[in-house]
Amino acid sequence: MSILPIYLFGNDVLKTPAKKVEKLFQEDLILIKNMFETMKNSNGIGLAANQIGVLKQILVIDISEMEDGKKTKPFVVINPVIKKEIGKWQIEEGCLSIPGIRADVERAEKISLKYLDEKFIVHHKTFSGLMARVLLHEIDHLNGILFIEKISSKKRKEFKNELMEIKVGNIRPNYAIVIAENLKE
Ligand code: NI
């Protein structure tokens, strides 16, 4: 297994919608294993394939270390389709691709989701609370959307300098990263 570098804010791959997975190949199973390893290494609770530079609709989740997720197991979600969103709540979010920035984001409290697992078996499940939150954040990634696009423009302006610092590569988290292509020397 290998730890993959995480693409930071400023990379186009984070703004590009990922493609549906039509068939799972051995390389995809290796990719999924590496995504779990990469997420663990960076202490993340969710990771979308866009964040490691792959435009496939694959995300991994592990909230077992969180107070609200102690009984949950890590799992992979392929080709997610949100069937229903219920309620609204605000909670602070962060993102491995936007290190150091955290902000309150409003999202649905409960969701019904159709997705495939790593054996390509279809699931229809309902998720709520933190699990729904992480899923919605990661599904946004697969659609090329970052959480900072979901906050008020006033709030986003407050992060302008920090976002620029990430973009130009002045922010170095304690995990492997890829800074924006056009800004590399
Ligand atoms: Ni994120």
Residue 159 within any structural domain of the chain: yes
Each residue's pLDDT tens digit in the chain (185 positions)? 899 999 999 999 999 999 999 999 999 999 999 999 999 999 999 999 999 999 999 999 999 988 888 888 999 999 999 999 999 999 999 999 999 999 999 999 999 999 999 999 999 999 999 999 999 999 999 999 999 999 999 999 999 999 999 999 999 999 999 998 665 55
Ligand 1 centre distance from Cα of residue 59 (Å):
11
CB of 21 within 8 A of CB of 116? yes
Ligand 1 centre distance from Cα of residue 184 (Å):
22
Gyration radius of the chain over CA positions: 16
Number of domains in the chain: 1
Residue 1 within any structural domain of the chain: no
Residue 53: helix, strand or coil by DSSP?
coil
Ligand 1 centre distance from Cα of residue 133 (Å):
11
Residue 60 within any structural domain of the chain: yes
Quote the longest CA-to-CA distance of the chain: 47
Residue 85 known to be catalytic: no
Residue 95 within any structural domain of the chain: yes
Quick one: CA torsion of 80, 85, 88, 92, rounded to 10 degrees?
A: 0
Given the residues 22, 109, 138, 181, select the one marked as catalytic.
138
The b-or-e profile of 148-170 (16+ CB within 10 A means b, else e) is: bebbeeeeeeebeebbeebbebe
Residue 77 within any structural domain of the chain: yes
Residue 47 within any structural domain of the chain: yes
Cα–chain-centroid distance for residue 37? 14
Q: What CATH number corresponds to the domain at position 154?
A: 3.90.45.10
pTM of the entire predicted model: 0.95
Question: Domain range spanning residue 175?
Answer: 6-183
CB of 49 within 8 A of CB of 35? yes
